[in-house]
Amino acid sequence: MKLLLRLLFCLLPSAGLVAATPSAFALRASARPEAAAPRPAGSVSLENAWRAQALLGAEVWSRVIRVENTGRRRAYPETVYALVFEEGGVLWFYTDTDGTQSLSANPGRLAEEKSDFVPLLRGIEPGFAAYEVLPLDVARVSRPVFGTHGSDPCHFLDSALPNGCIIECLGALREQVRRGEPIERARLLSCYFDTPAGRRGHTVLTYETRRGLFLLDPGRSPAPRSVPRVWADDPMALARAALQGADVARARWVPTALPARPALVAAGEFDRDLVPAAAPRLMR
């Protein structure tokens, strides 16, 4: 099952593009030029993990973790800050250097997977030997992360999240729902295209209302774009619309759940205890 999940998609950058081979379809999401930049300091990585959690919101199950890396090949630094979150019945793993990739090995056993990440983390990096769940910043996660900026209703209050196209799309979807947009169906779409340097990819949001079908790429434009409704179940047509000018090689849907209405969240219909009440402990 783990192998099948990792063969589903490869969500790689659209601008600062990182190469991927067909065998590396690991549900990755990198959408920014920063992917090719030097690895940021730990404090930056931690801050971006907090920002990613805030984008997802309190209604999404998530954990910010510090991971110990004892591996020799050092694909990751000795200390890694990451966000683990649930979306579409699957656990995901985000870092600001590598974007988002699948973490689940057994999506039907989420409760078991949530109790111990170590076996799952080792599937990403064998050197990930232990992790610690960091305390939740409730104020950060609960506040809106979008604001109004002139005529731009979806302007980010801070800068874009490095390699965060999946999380930005989920955050944009959450914001659309919070603002009362009557969304009937929403899906993330990962789009792939080939270049001389290898395969590249990007993730966008598509959603339907009674007014029609819309495509939203928050990393490129805050405004949703109306597209023909006949494309609703045609991922290649939507991918070509999203990546105008690119020769699209592949397009795949990403498991996506429509966020709950704000009234349900306020009524306590969701698990807001994102971090156990006990003090954080190192799990090996």
150 domain residue, yes or no = no
Same domain for 258 and 204? yes
Domain boundaries, position 12: 2-140+272-283
Residues comprising the chain, all counted: 284
Query: Mean pLDDT per 10-residue run, the chain (284 residues)?
Result: 42 32 31 36 80 91 95 85 94 93 90 95 94 80 51 48 93 91 94 84 93 93 94 95 89 86 42 39 57
Same domain for 105 and 7? yes
User: How high is the pLDDT of residue 255?
Assistant: 80
Three-class DSSP category at 67: strand
Same domain for 130 and 191? no
Q: Where are the alpha helices (DSSP H) in the chain?
A: 2-6, 42-56, 110-115, 118-124, 138-142, 165-178, 235-242, 262-266
Same domain for 102 and 200? no
Same domain for 130 and 37? yes
241 domain residue, yes or no = yes
Same domain for 190 and 108? no
127 domain residue, yes or no = yes
Closest CA to 248 of 260, 231, 259, 236: 236
User: How high is the pLDDT of residue 153?
Assistant: 37
Same domain for 277 and 210? no
User: How high is the pLDDT of residue 103?
Assistant: 95
User: How high is the pLDDT of residue 106?
Assistant: 87
149 domain residue, yes or no = no
User: How high is the pLDDT of residue 138?
Assistant: 63
56 domain residue, yes or no = yes
20 secondary structure, DSSP code: B
Three-class DSSP category at 44: helix
User: How high is the pLDDT of residue 262?
Assistant: 52
255 domain residue, yes or no = yes
Structural domain count of the chain: 2
pTM, two decimals, is 0.74
End-to-end CA distance of the chain: 23
User: How high is the pLDDT of residue 173?
Assistant: 94
Same domain for 173 and 73? no
- C-alpha dihedral (21, 24, 30, 32), degrees to nearest 10: -20
151 domain residue, yes or no = no
Same domain for 122 and 168? no
253 domain residue, yes or no = yes
Element housing 201 (H / E): strand 198-209
CA 165, distance to chain mean position in Å, is 6
Same domain for 78 and 189? no
Same domain for 169 and 136? no
Residue found by looking up tokens 């694909």 in the block: 75
CB atoms within 10 A of CB 17: 22
Same domain for 6 and 134? yes
